Amino acid sequence: MVSDLSRRSFLSGSAVTTAGATIINTAQTMTAQAENSADGPPLADTQPVTIRLNVNGAMRMAQIAASMTLAEVLRGSLGLTGTKIACNRGACSACTVWLDGVPICACMMLAVDVGARSVTTIEGLAQGETLHPVQQAFIDHDALQCGFCTPGMIMSCAALLQRNPEPNADEVRAAISGHYCRCGTYPHVIAATLAAAKAHRG
Amino acid sequence: MSVAKQEMRAAVFPSGIASVGLGTVERQIPADEPPPLPPNSELTVIGKSFPRPNGRAKATGAVRFTVDIALPGMLHARVLRSSLPHAVVRSIDMSAAISHPGVRAVLAVADPANPKSAKLRYVGAPVAAVAAVSLPAAEEAVRLIRVDYEPLPFVADMDKARDPAAPLVHDHATAPPGHPSGFPAAANLPLNGNVRGPSIAKRGDVTKGFAEADVVVESEYSTSVQTHCCIEPHAIVADWRADGLTVYMSTQFTAGVRDEIAEAFGLPLNRIRVIVDAMGGGFGSKSSLGNYGRFAIALSRQAKAPVRLFLEREEEQMDAGNRPGTWQRLRIGAKRDGTLTAISLVSYGTAGVTVGAGVGNNAEALYSCPNFEGAQHDVFINAGPGCAMRAPGNTPGGYGLEQTIDELAEQLGVDPLRLRDRIDPSLVRREQRRIGAERVGWKERHSPGADSGPIKRGLGVAQSLWGANVQTNAACEVRVMRDGSVEVLSSVQDIGTGITTVLAQTVAEVLGLRPDQITVRIGDTEFPPGGPSYGSRTTASITPPARTAAWRVQQQLFRQAALLLNASAEDLFAREGKILVRSDPARFVAFRDAASHLRTDRVAAVVSRSDDYGGFRRRAGADAALAQQDLGGVQFAEVAVDTETGAVRVERVVAVQDCGRPMNPRQIESQVHGGVLMGVSYALLEERILDQATGRMVNPDLEQYKLVGVRETPQIDVVVLENYQGQSATDAYGIAEPANIATAPAIANAVYNAIGVRLRSLPMTPAAVLTALGKVAQRS
């Protein structure tokens, strides 16, 4: 990889790969051995940890590598692919989930650090078949185009309404100011969130 | 073509701009195509803002993007990339990678034995690829590959690359050849050093034209390299099996990817299936198979297992394409009354190691001018390849042209809108200028730099031109089942622009149903070949055959209903789930009931795109053509410039666009928002920065590479004309690209109007504004 310092290698304290004319393997650490994607069989020398996660109101168990982020565990081990990874370093907010009701970037948190706190993902937002008002408003106002940033965007807007049921447009802007949408849905996201707040108030 | 032999009939179509007044036009149309579609005001489904059928799946996270697909036994691939901008691979040792636990396949992309592939020309160029049972195992295996590189001199700056003494990026054997269609670059052009071209376009005699001019303006403009920044990464899951290959890919062109795979891997087309369900934005960068697509397929073939490969954000920034950087010099001569006498254009642009860095055709085609000469050049540098990006060419081209037109207006002492009224022959844009000027309050516009305080406001305008592309190699099937349910099938893909909705609307309008009663199955080469979703051509290409197919199926159903109603099939029409007798509407049969009497489980029709009624302006290769009338638009921008910090704030954009018949106004508004915001971002923020000492991109991420966010999002007013031309069964054309072109120059003209100093390069950062104002020293 060109990257001198990935988050993965940083977390595991591995050495920095040089950018010189010869790629030398300096990363003789336990990085890869300690990691294990849930998608493949475990490697012979992995030392997985077992964690319990309270996700969308259910306790879930997962055998993971300690270096895995919450986003990776949600998407891989738990199959909750609604949470998206787009930049993998907290710059775009596509991976936004709730931790005890507060929106966070799931790519910036290790799964082992979640502990007993509750995680809510886009899959857990609707009440059965009834969509959250923000989800419905996103559909009604065409606040989604390609839909890749949409789950994260909805989680932030829904969290805003939890803590502020009557936001103004500036408060919606503040709530999604960390989100990137390349399709340009921002104006419709603001309209949808304001409409959802209004619908919620009745 | 078989068109000449086709049985034709005359039909009268609505014609003109709805807000100006509609007339009619008679066309000869194929006898087996449906009657003319009335204007939107007379329709119940088309032209209305129905929500996306896939909206719920997108809002609940249920929809599957390529990165979400996990097949049993699937492997994960990573790519080793060059950290040098120019090098030869002398040797490559993959033994440690091969023996690393979990590794199932390795691929040397740069082969020391092959002089052509052993040469690496940019940082991020692929060197090797690995597939393993887990992503960490693949990453570790990549780190275990030992490569001996021989570094070569490189050049990472366009101006330096033009120096005859600069290191050569290509020779005649390796330089990309261009294409006979002229896109992304013309074929058979000379190569001198790193400079390829010029590509010449010419009419009249510019020397004579400039001699006749009373006023001549000459200006130079440059634009930065913009990267696509699709939020969804490029991704593929390749599943090579003995009986055929299935590929899930985030692509703008399933059928095109299938063709590429067939050629690259020697497979027959009937053994390849390409699928894209949800697609997370492409903007031009997901138009082809790409090098990573080839790697995944080759690894899957080798490992005999499915392989998933997606690009990390850094790889996206370095090797997934970009909008080339450009420099252009424009010279425009005019008579005192504004009549243009000559336009000359010289441009140099760089798409890194590839071609396609021209500045388009706006200077050539937007305004009436008898004498034009353009000379466009590609310059190779050691940087990642450019590719088409939302209105390629015309977006940087328009940035230069529309500012130069404003400069001319100022020299002539005439309002920029009045000058455009004089030199722009388009009646569509005339109406767009009228609407936009009224909406934005153009009359209140002050003279440049007139505000007295430190924050200065300005108003600017710019226009755009974009060809109305049509893919004639595009087909669609409509099926009606015995239970009355309806399916639409095509390999065309929904890249977020909403063709799923529009296809449901098109078919529902014909059959007298609601869009939510139509199931749209697309993005799969098992279905009839839809066209690509690039060049703003999807709607124009696939909605006419969809309407025709629905109409033909309806004819079959009407024959059934006619028996039930004891009426003639010609006397039937469909509305609100019923089939009614026109001469006696009290007699009807429910659509479902008519379908239940079908002799077979379903009736279906497969229809391909016919030529535009009245003919195309010209063909563009075997599979595509250009419609008679261009698309375009006029945009107005209001800005506030803080002359103490240099920050430019775009407060409002009024975008007046056209796309033939608007099919779904809210989705069109969404796309125009996207075009405008990408333009705001281009104008103020975006710039790929290459370190000249190493050739590396120093901002290959989403935090140092700046994108427009909601904080920088202005109020955007969207107005879309209904412009009927009677050219197809739907008369609908595209919107995505034309909505992007005019934004940056409108902002630039507004900035000039605010501060009285013209900025001539993108992005217009605070530093650039302060430099232009003379408040900080020029950067060397």
pLDDT in the model for residue B643: 98
Structure tokens at B471: 């893919």
- The domain made up of A133-201 is a member of CATH 1.10.150.120: yes
Mutate to test the interface with A, among B68, B702, B708, B737 (most CBs of A within 10 A): B702
pLDDT in the model for residue B686: 98
Distance CA B315, CA B331 (A): 39
Statement: residue A43 has pLDDT above 80: no
Statement: residue A41 has pLDDT above 90: no
Distances (CA, A) of B455 to A119, B446, B649: 45, 14, 10
Q: Could you check whether the bond before residue B763 is cis, i.e. omega within 30 degrees of 0?
A: yes
Domains identified in chain B and CATH numbers:
66-152+234-310 (3.90.1170.50), 158-224+322-401 (3.30.365.10), 427-467+629-772 (3.30.365.10), 470-624 (3.30.365.10)
pLDDT in the model for residue A52: 97
pLDDT in the model for residue B495: 97
Please give the DSSP secondary-structure letter assigned to residue B453: S
pLDDT in the model for residue A16: 33
As a whole number, the mean pLDDT across chain B is: 97
A94 touches B at CB < 8 Å: yes
Find, among B67, B101, B76, B70, the residue nearest to B303 by Cα.
Answer: B76
For residue B193, the one-letter residue type is G
- Interchain proximity A87–B81, CB inside 8 Å: no
Q: Among A37, A140, A189, select the one facing B134 at the smallest CB separation.
A: A37
For residue A183, the one-letter residue type is C
Mutate to test the interface with B, among A11, A92, A146 (most CBs of B within 10 A): A146
- Interchain proximity A89–B703, CB inside 8 Å: yes
pLDDT in the model for residue B778: 74
- In the numeric block, the tokens 């281009």 are attached to B682
Find, among A135, A84, A82, A96, the residue nearest to B55 by Cα.
Answer: A135
3-state secondary structure of B549: helix
**Rounded to the nearest 5 degrees, what angle is found at the Cα of B529, between the Cα atoms of B476 and B302?**
145
CA distance B249 to chain A (A): 15
A166 touches B at CB < 8 Å: no
Going from N- to C-terminal start, the domains of chain A cover 1-33, 49-124, 133-201
CA distance A72 to chain B (A): 11
Distance CA B717, CA B719 (A): 7
pLDDT along chain B (780 residues), means of 10: 73 97 97 97 98 98 97 98 98 97 97 91 98 96 97 98 98 92 92 97 98 98 98 98 97 98 98 97 97 98 98 98 98 98 98 97 98 98 98 98 98 98 98 98 96 97 97 98 98 98 98 98 98 97 98 96 96 98 97 96 97 96 95 97 98 98 98 98 98 98 97 98 98 97 98 98 98 84
Q: Which helix (H) or strand (E) holds B244?
A: strand B244-249
Structure tokens at B62: 């249920």
Q: Regarding predicted confidence, which is higher, A3 or B422?
A: B422
Q: Among B228, B278, B703, select the one facing A91 at the smallest CB separation.
A: B703
Query: In this structure, are residues B219 and B404 in contact, taking their beta carbons and an 8 Å threshold?
Result: yes
Q: What tens digit of pLDDT does each residue of A68-83 get?
A: 999 999 999 999 999 9
B72 contact residues in A (CB cutoff 8 A): none
A99 touches B at CB < 8 Å: no
Mutate to test the interface with A, among B668, B710, B716, B737 (most CBs of A within 10 A): B710
Distances (CA, A) of B525 to B54, B403, B603, B622, B737: 20, 44, 21, 20, 26
- In the numeric block, the tokens 């007993």 are attached to A116
pLDDT in the model for residue A35: 39
Distance CA B657, CA B718 (A): 8
B314 contact residues in A (CB cutoff 8 A): 1-3
Question: How is the beta sheet containing A102-105 ordered, strand by strand?
Answer: A58-64, A49-55, A118-120, A96-99, A102-105
Cα maximum dimension of chain B: 87
Distance CA A46, CA A62 (A): 15
pLDDT in the model for residue B180: 86
A47 touches B at CB < 8 Å: no
A140 touches B at CB < 8 Å: yes
pLDDT in the model for residue A202: 64
Q: What tens digit of pLDDT does each residue of A143-160 get?
A: 999 999 999 999 999 999
pLDDT in the model for residue A200: 76
A89 touches B at CB < 8 Å: yes
CA distance B116 to chain A (A): 20
CA distance A102 to chain B (A): 19
pLDDT in the model for residue B96: 98
pLDDT in the model for residue B116: 86
CATH code given to domain A49-124:
3.10.20.30
Report H helices in B79-218: 95-99, 115-118, 135-143, 158-161, 206-212
Residues 53-82 of A with CB under 8 A from B: 65, 75, 79-82
Q: At what angle do helices B743-755 and B394-412 cross, to 10 degrees?
A: 30
pLDDT in the model for residue B780: 56
A95 touches B at CB < 8 Å: no
- 3-state SS, B97-125, equals HHHCCCEEEEEECCCCCCHHHHEECCCCC
- Interchain proximity A176–B710, CB inside 8 Å: yes
Burial B287-324 (b: 16+ CB within 10 A, else e): bbbbbbbbbbbbbbbebebbbbbbbbbbbbbbbbbbbb
Statement: residue A18 has pLDDT above 50: no
Mutate to test the interface with A, among B52, B56, B60 (most CBs of A within 10 A): B60
Find, among A173, A144, A151, A146, the residue nearest to A106 by Cα.
Answer: A151
For residue B278, the one-letter residue type is A
* Residue A199: band (very low, low, confident or very high) from pLDDT cuts 50, 70, 90: confident
